[in-house]
Amino acid sequence: MRRNWVLMGLTVAAVGGVLFYLRFPRHSKAVTQAEVQALTAQLASLFASRQHSLVSALEAAAQQTPNPYLRQVLPQIRSDVQQNVCLYRAMEKYPDVFSPAYIFAVKHGTNCSRGIAVFKEIAQRWSSDPEQQWVIARHIVKRCALEALKDGDWMNRGFALRALRK
């Protein structure tokens, strides 16, 4: 009798595990740096048009990206941004998509109010080599910070000085 209960419990656990596994879509998490670069170029052009907010640009990019995993990730980032989470913080949740160098460039560039410039430069110059990514990210942040120091906005200047120290 006890053995039957144990077998029934194991069967229920196994069926529950299979159902849990099947509940979630199985997309490959493979996102190439070329796809990240294309996404960044798309976001840069949407921002540059001045017709899209960050939220609507992320929504449009999610609809147009061919990668199924990015189509799953971008609405979650958009949702975080709608809840007043910084873009770079929302991106940090997906290290399989956005490298630390990418997040570094986005964080400091957007803090200096140079988001469009950051996305344009990443779209043009990004590399698949992690060491080269850091070189590019530091160059982008330095350029944005130096431009922000010329601003009359003291808050941008403060962010720029902090970015130059990193």
**Which amino acid is residue 6, in one-letter code?**
V
pTM to 2 decimal places: 0.74
pLDDT of residue 12: 57
Instruction: Produce one character per residue of 85-106: b if its CB has 16 or more CB atoms within 10 Å, e if not.
Output: eebbebbeebeebbbebbbbbb
More confident residue, 27 or 15: 15
Lowest mean pLDDT among 9-13, 17-21, 24-28, 75-79: 24-28
Longest C-alpha distance within the chain, in Å? 81
Domains of the chain and CATH, by start: 2-165 (1.20.81.30)
Per residue in 71-88, pLDDT (tens digit) is 999 999 999 999 999 999
**% of the chain residues with pLDDT over 90:** 33
